[in-house]
Amino acid sequence: MSEERQRRLRQPIVAVLGHVDHGKTTLLDKIRGTTVAAKEPGQITQHVGASLVPSNVIEKVTEPLKKLIPTVKLELPGLLFIDTPGHEIFTNLRKRGGAVADLAILVVDIMEGFQPQTYEAVEILKQRKVPFIVAANKVDRIPGWRPNPDQPILISMRKQDPSVIEFMDNQIYKIMGELAKMGFDSDRFDRIKNYTRQIAIVPISAKTGEGVPELLALLAGLAQRFMKGKLKYVEGPAKGVVMEVKEEPGYGSTIDTIIYDGIIKQGDTIVVGGIEEPIVTKVRALLIPEPLQEIRATKRFRAVDEVSAAAGVKIVAPGLDKAVAGAPIYVVEREEDLEKIKEQVKKEVEEVLIETDAE
């Protein structure tokens, strides 16, 4: 933990969005698989509702890119991917998005192009001003595509027939056209001149892994170049968002949270958004998943004394059964701040509930 504190930047929180069946889950599985495969003992912390891709894994995966494109030296400790794709995170992002996601991947099926939820996702990202990258997914379904598993897409593209690349580019032009209608200038990532003004489109296959190196490199690069202010590591009281409210055998009511700022410790007083009113309670336990190799039949979680952002953690505390998914959670450091924080939480929950009613 102390080593983590010395680092200058925290992990950016990455959300994966897109139309149903366009490949969000498959992409997250691929990224998670990559992490597990490249894992070195002692370097991975498990998270609740999120997957951390540490910088050494990003380095390894993006290594083959060094010969192809200029890559930036990694200063980030890693990328934290929110694991719940689909509707759940979608509504959470809609509700608390600005607070949760620092960056997003918009997954678009390259064969199908923009669909209703794609437009919806772009609209949210635009409103919340969340920088994003487009993953033009399922390139392996382009007729005639020769798969090159886990390779950079730049290498795989060289191995395709010109007509296949022409087909791919046509599909990408259509995506560019839709983005343009929504006010975004975009291009295939290797043709981009200005990353601050243009959205990068990376052709990938979540199934074969082609293009995933570029996707990770671009995310890390974007974060490092344009978000350093936001990602400065802060030692203050934690802020987070409730992803899920869960009854957990042996623990009672718990909440799965993403902590995006500061530190939360066992025994801390917290304010959590509740159905009727803000819940003021004390953290009884902070739980993270037991590392895979150490799972024993009876234990799924391990208690830790403290957790620092960015992290996914399960919080055990009395009264959490009335917490609202999408609601904020704040650690109260000074007693005199309590009323002010309660007011703030109340206001934010009202916004969440109004937006939920509107759906």
- Interacting span for ligand GDP (CB under 6 A) from 22-30, 54-62, 271-279, 287-295: 22-30
Among 47, 94, 96, 207, binds ligand GDP (CB under 6 A): 207
Residue 18 in the binding site for ligand GDP (CB under 6 A): yes
Among 83, 102, 140, 268, binds ligand GDP (CB under 6 A): 140
Whole-number Å distance between alpha carbons of 352 and 27: 28
Among 9, 11, 12, 22, binds ligand GDP (CB under 6 A): 22
Site string for ligand GDP, 82-121 (x = CB under 6 A): ---xx-----------------------------------
- Interacting span for ligand GDP (CB under 6 A) from 51-59, 135-143, 295-303, 316-324: 135-143
For tokens 């990353």, the residue is 195
- Interacting span for ligand GDP (CB under 6 A) from 17-25, 114-122, 289-297, 328-336: 17-25
Whole-number Å distance between alpha carbons of 206 and 71: 22
Whole-number Å distance between alpha carbons of 259 and 49: 11
Residue 23 in the binding site for ligand GDP (CB under 6 A): yes
Among 20, 37, 292, 295, binds ligand GDP (CB under 6 A): 20
CB closer to ligand GDP, 50 vs 287:
50
Residue 18 Cβ vs ligand GDP, minimum distance, rounded to whole Å? 6
Cβ burial 140-176 (10 Å sphere, 16+ → b, else e): bebeebeebebbbbbbbbeebeeebeebbeebbeebb
CB closer to ligand GDP, 110 vs 238:
110
Partners of 241 in the β-ladder: 258, 328
**Cis omega (within 30 of 0) for bond into 310:** yes
Residue 206 in the binding site for ligand GDP (CB under 6 A): yes
**Sequence-ordered strand ranges (E) for the chain:** 13-18, 50-54, 78-82, 103-109, 132-137, 185-188, 198-203, 239-248, 252-261, 263-265, 269-272, 279-282, 285-289, 301-304, 306-308, 311-316, 328-332
CB closer to ligand GDP, 94 vs 314:
94
Whole-number Å distance between alpha carbons of 56 and 100: 24
Whole-number Å distance between alpha carbons of 243 and 323: 10
Judging by DSSP bridges, how do beta strands 198-203 and 132-137 pair with one another? parallel
Residue 352 Cβ vs ligand GDP, minimum distance, rounded to whole Å? 24
Among 51, 55, 62, 137, binds ligand GDP (CB under 6 A): 137
Binding site for ligand GDP (CB under 6 A): 18, 20-26, 85-86, 137-138, 140-141, 205-207
